[in-house]
C-alpha cells in the first residue's frame, strides 16, 4: 500500500518552512539594529571564518544564488565592510575579505545570533540537542551524496 502524501508531513517542506521561519526571526535581530540583510550576514560570517573568498565560493558555501551574492556584496562594499582584490593565484579572480569595520560588525552581531540560537533551542533537552546535531549531520552527509535522490527521481520520470 502506497503512503498518502501529506505536504504538512513531507520532510523537504517542513525543513524549508522551519529554515525560513528561523531566517526571518533571526534577521529581526540584526536587521533593525545593524541594517544587515540575511545574505549580507551570511557573507560576513563566511568571510570571518574563511577570509579571501571569491564571490563564486561565497555563493556555493553560503547556499546563495549569484544575484543575491552580487547585491549583498555591493551593499557591504559601499558600507566599507569588505574589500576586493585580485587573487594571487589567479589574476582573473577577485577575492573578498572583511575590513576591520566589517570584522567589528560581525563581532557585534555574532553574540546576538548565538544568544538567539540558544533561546530558540531551549525547548530541547541537552540530549535532544545532541541527537538533533547528529541527525542533521547524517542527513547533510547523505544529501551531499545525491546518488540515492537522483536514482529515485530518474526512475520516477522513466
Q: What is the residue extent of each domain of the chain?
A: 7-123, 125-158
Domain range 7-123, its CATH number among 3.30.360.10, 3.40.50.300, 3.40.50.970, 1.10.10.10: 1.10.10.10
Q: Is the pLDDT of residue 147 over 60?
A: no
Compute the average pLDDT of residues 58-67: 94
| Per-residue pLDDT at 43 exceeds 80 | yes
Q: How far apart are CA 50 and CA 118, in angstroms?
A: 24
Three-state DSSP class for residue 118: helix
How far, in Å, CA of 37 to CA of 28, rounded?
Answer: 9
Q: What's the CA gap between 71 and 40, in Å, rounded?
A: 9
Average pLDDT, the chain: 91
pLDDT at site 88 = 80
Q: Is 42 helix (H, G, I), strand (E, B) or coil?
A: helix
Amino acid at each position: 500500500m502506497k503512503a498518502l502524501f501529506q505536504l504538512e508531513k513531507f520532510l523537504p517542506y517542513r525543513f524549508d518552512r522551519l529554515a525560513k521561519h528561523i531566517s526571518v526571526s533571526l534577521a529581526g535581530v540584526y536587521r533593525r539594529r545593524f541594517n544587515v540583510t540575511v545574505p549580507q550576514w551570511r557573507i560576513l560570517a563566511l568571510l570571518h571564518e574563511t577570509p579571501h573568498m571569491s564571490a563564486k565560493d561565497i555563493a556555493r558555501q553560503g547556499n546563495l544564488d549569484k544575484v543575491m551574492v552580487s547585491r549583498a556584496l555591493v551593499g557591504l562594499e559601499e558600507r566599507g565592510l569588505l574589500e576586493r582584490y585580485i587573487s594571487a593565484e589567479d589574476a582573473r579572480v577577485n577575492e573578498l575579505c572583511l575590513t576591520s569595520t566589517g570584522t567589528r560588525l560581525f563581532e557585534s552581531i555574532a553574540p546576538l545570533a548565538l544568544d538567539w540560537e540558544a533561546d530558540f533551542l531551549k525547548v530541547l533537552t541537552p540530549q535532544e540537542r545532541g541527537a538533533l546535531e547528529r541527525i542533521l549531520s547524517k542527513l547533510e552527509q547523505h544529501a551531499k551524496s545525491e546518488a540515492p535522490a537522483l536514482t529515485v527521481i530518474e526512475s520516477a520520470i522513466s
